[in-house]
Structure 1
Amino acid sequence: MTSSSASESAPPPDRSRPGPLRRMTARGRDEAHRVATPLELFFDLCFVVAIAQAGAELMHFMAEGHAGEGILNYVMIFFAIWWAWMNFTWFASAYDNDDALFRVVTLVQIAGVLVLAAGVSRAFENHVFLAVWLGYVIMRLALITQWLRAARSAEGAERTMALRYAVGVLVCQVGWLGLLVLPESGRAWVFLVMAPLEMCVPLFAERNYVTSWHAHHISERFGLFTIIVLGESVSAATVAVKTGVDEHDALGHLLPIAVGGLLIVFAAWWIYFAVPIHGFLRSNRQSFLWGYGHYLIFSSAAAIGAGLEVAVEQAVGKAHISALAASAAVTLPTALYLLTVWILHARHFKVGITQQLVLPVTALLVILCTFLGEWAVLVAGILAALAVAFGVILTTRGSAPRGRGTAAAV
Structure 2
Amino acid sequence: MFNPNFKSLVTANLNESQRSVIPRSVSAVALSLVVALTGCSKQAEKSEDIRPVRAVVVKNGTTDTAIELSGEVRPRIESHLGFRVGGKIVSRKVELGTVVKRGQVLMQLDPQDLALAQAQAKAGLTAAESNRDLAMAELKRYQELRAKNFVAATVLDAKDVAYKAAQSSYEQALAAYKNQSNQASYANLESDVDGVVTSVDAEVGQVVAAGAPVIRVAQSGDMDVVVGVPENKINMIRQMSDINVSLWAQPSKILSAKLRELSPIADPATRTYAAKVILPPDATDVRLGMTATVTFVARNPNQVIKVPMTALLQSKAGTSVWVVNQGVVHQVPVQIAGAAGEDVLIAGGVSNGQTIVTAGVHFLKEGQRVTILGADPISADAVKAVAPGESK
TM-score by length of 1: 0.17
TM-score (norm 2): 0.17
Comparing both chains, which one has the higher relative contact order based on Cα–Cα distances under 8 Å and sequence gaps of 6 or more?
2
